[in-house]
Structure 1
Amino acid sequence: MDQLFTATGFDDPGSGPLYLQLQRRIAEAIASGRLSPGSSLPAERDMAAMTGLSRVTIRNAIQALVASGQLVQRRGSGTFVAQKVERLEQALSLLTSFTEDMSRRGKSVDSQWISRMIGAPAPEEVMALGLGADEHVVRLERVRRSDGLPLAIERASLPTTVLPDPGLVEGSLYLTLDTLGMRPVRAVQRISAANLGPRDAELLGVSPGVAGLRIERIGYLATGRVVEFTRSLYRGDAYDFAVELKLAPEGQAK
């Protein structure tokens, strides 16, 4: 690493701005394996001393690599080479749980629980779940991991008439609901882009501000009863969502 952060090689005016030269140098070291996933980079002041570049130049190069997902910064710990993440394609036409989806791929699944509680519903929960004024909700908040890698933060709200005890959910929420005869058979799902805030980024092991996907799902029984209101945040570098499109029936095309 000492050879990577030297003052040599930054004296060619035709190679572009200094921060861009440093950015390329680090990116090439990551691509070639000289900097392996999980490796820590020297502190900003140490890189400045080793390369002879200003701390502003160092900071600009590092921030560009953080924004591209090649580096990750952790408060109080430093800057690290990001772990390589296998991109997963998720079909939007199937109503499956995270556990079921990962199991089909042959991957292990576990959860880092943040909270499991019962409380009075917030206004958006009342609207989404169609609750009465005196009803309560179970709230489940956890980080979903596959093969030890955090991929999503899941925040689910369910009426206590559907799930009376949050402690019943240990692994798959849908498996638990299935045993209770309350598994949804259809859902409305909305997906939007999001930039991860500091808390969510820390839970997912990425840098604050990186791209993510916000998914809001409302699940229904066959009777039309709403049983689930789940808001999830997925790592943007790990997921591609795919949906099959078909030609509209003749007479409906516009």
Structure 2
Amino acid sequence: MQDQTAAQLPLSALDDTNPTPLYLQLQQTIEEAVRKGNLKPDDALPGERDLAKQLGISRVTVRKAITGLVKRGVLVQRWGSGTFVAHQMRLEQPLSRLSSFTDDMSARGLSSSAVLLSRSIGPASPDELMALGLSPGDLVSRVNRLRLADGIPLAIEHAVVPSRFLPDPSAVKQSLYAVLHEQGCIPVRALQRLHAVLLSAEQAALLKVTPQSPALYIERRSFTNAGEVVEFTSSYYRGDAYDFVAELTLHQPERNLNDDE
């Protein structure tokens, strides 16, 4: 695989007499190969040692070039596997609309899927009691999943739902909201809190990015028409695949009619 990929790279593009630093030349070479389709998503790059030998440059230069491309989302490093061409997926996600991951991907013409990581039923933890407005001893159903679009892992979701709304967590195959709809407890509004985080090695492996990659952590509490909390979900979204968008309006103070007199 590596020999085939290396042969596709226009290695002769590097020029010692060019004032552009060699690591930038290598970045431009790889990006050009990606644009032309000579390197396709999930293609493996040669190892640092092989690239350095073929190009006649140092491994430090190769590492600097690859690190820059990983930060820009052109390449992705998979723990224990190597460096690969990343899927160039970038999604805009409105923060003002309440919808499920499945519906979001469907609206974009993408095929959504989920990998079950764990599911359970048990007494709510102190944090879950507070988030869901439950009493000590109340049971919750927990569903932890990896969410994918067109086979690309985009988010890790951990959903907690009072068991009276979701008595059987195994009923969640694809969309949690679809199951809640069937149970007659439709979320109609939600509160979200979000902040930037760095992914742990375990989280990065699931999302197929390097450890300590940037991500957005979002906590969401969803409510029914009756004001009951039906869902408490915490999610980690890949920072290289999502742009979260919010519409802002300027508050206009009410005018005093006396001001016009």
Fold-level match, TM-score > 0.5?
Answer: yes
1:21 aligns with 2:21: no
1:2 aligns with 2:10: no
Report if aligned partners of 2:112, 2:148 keep a CA contact under 8 Å in 1: yes
Report if aligned partners of 2:8, 2:39 keep a CA contact under 8 Å in 1: no
Aligned partner of 2:225 in structure 1 is 222
1:123 aligns with 2:126: yes
Query: Alpha-carbon deviation of 1:67?
Result: 1.3
Report if aligned partners of 1:62, 1:71 keep a CA contact under 8 Å in 2: yes
Matches within 5 A, 1:166-177: 166-177=169-180
Distance (Å, rounded) in 1 between the aligned partners of 2:20 and 2:247 = 45
Aligned partner of 1:48 in structure 2 is 52
Q: Could you tell me the TM-score, scaled by structure 2's length?
A: 0.86
Query: Compared with structure 1, are the counterparts of its residues 25 and 138 closer, same or farther at alpha carbon in structure 2 (3 Å cutoff)?
Result: same
Moved more, 46-55 or 28-37: 28-37
What is the aligned counterpart of 2:74 among 70, 83, 106?
70
Aligned partner of 1:148 in structure 2 is 151
Amino acid at match of 1:215: I
Aligned with 1:230: secondary structure?
strand
Report if aligned partners of 1:5, 1:50 keep a CA contact under 8 Å in 2: no
What is the aligned counterpart of 1:112 among 103, 110, 115?
115
Matches within 5 A, 1:213-252: 213-251=216-254
1:99-157, CA deviations, whole angstroms, 9 ceiling, x for partnerless residues?
Answer: 12222333322211111111333332122112222122211111112222222211101
Report if aligned partners of 2:11, 2:29 keep a CA contact under 8 Å in 1: no
Amino acid at match of 2:175: S
Report if aligned partners of 2:153, 2:207 keep a CA contact under 8 Å in 1: yes
What is the aligned counterpart of 2:16 among 11, 18, 22?
11
What is the aligned counterpart of 1:135 among 134, 138, 141?
138
Distance (Å, rounded) in 2 between the aligned partners of 1:51 and 1:3 = 14
Query: Compared with structure 1, are the counterparts of its residues 246 and 12 closer, same or farther at alpha carbon in structure 2 (3 Å cutoff)?
Result: same
Q: Structure 1: which 4+ aligned runs deviate by more than 6 Å?
A: none
Report if aligned partners of 1:7, 1:50 keep a CA contact under 8 Å in 2: no
Query: Alpha-carbon deviation of 1:5?
Result: 7.0
Sequence identity, in percent? 51
Distance (Å, rounded) in 2 between the aligned partners of 1:62 and 1:223 = 53
Aligned with 1:83: secondary structure?
coil
Aligned with 1:2: secondary structure?
helix
What is the aligned counterpart of 1:209 among 193, 197, 212?
212
Aligned residues: 250
Moved more, 103-112 or 67-76: 103-112
Aligned partner of 1:200 in structure 2 is 203
Report if aligned partners of 2:8, 2:38 keep a CA contact under 8 Å in 1: no
Query: Alpha-carbon deviation of 1:236?
Result: 2.2
Q: Could you tell me the TM-score, scaled by structure 1's length?
A: 0.88
1:179-222, CA deviations, whole angstroms, 9 ceiling, x for partnerless residues?
Answer: 11222211101222222222222222223233322211001122
Report if aligned partners of 2:45, 2:83 keep a CA contact under 8 Å in 1: yes
Distance (Å, rounded) in 2 between the aligned partners of 1:42 and 1:52 = 14
CA RMSD, Structure 1 to Structure 2 (Å): 2.2
What is the aligned counterpart of 1:188 among 180, 188, 191?
191
Distance (Å, rounded) in 2 between the aligned partners of 1:9 and 1:95 = 49
Aligned partner of 1:38 in structure 2 is 42
Report if aligned partners of 1:5, 1:51 keep a CA contact under 8 Å in 2: no
1:62-108, CA deviations, whole angstroms, 9 ceiling, x for partnerless residues?
Answer: 111111111111122211111121x3222222211111222233332
Moved more, 101-110 or 221-230: 101-110
Amino acid at match of 1:65: L
Distance (Å, rounded) in 1 between the aligned partners of 2:142 and 2:123 = 10
Distance (Å, rounded) in 1 between the aligned partners of 2:106 and 2:30 = 36
Distance (Å, rounded) in 2 between the aligned partners of 1:212 and 1:11 = 37
Structure 2's unaligned 5+ residue stretches are: 1-5, 256-261
1:84 aligns with 2:88: yes
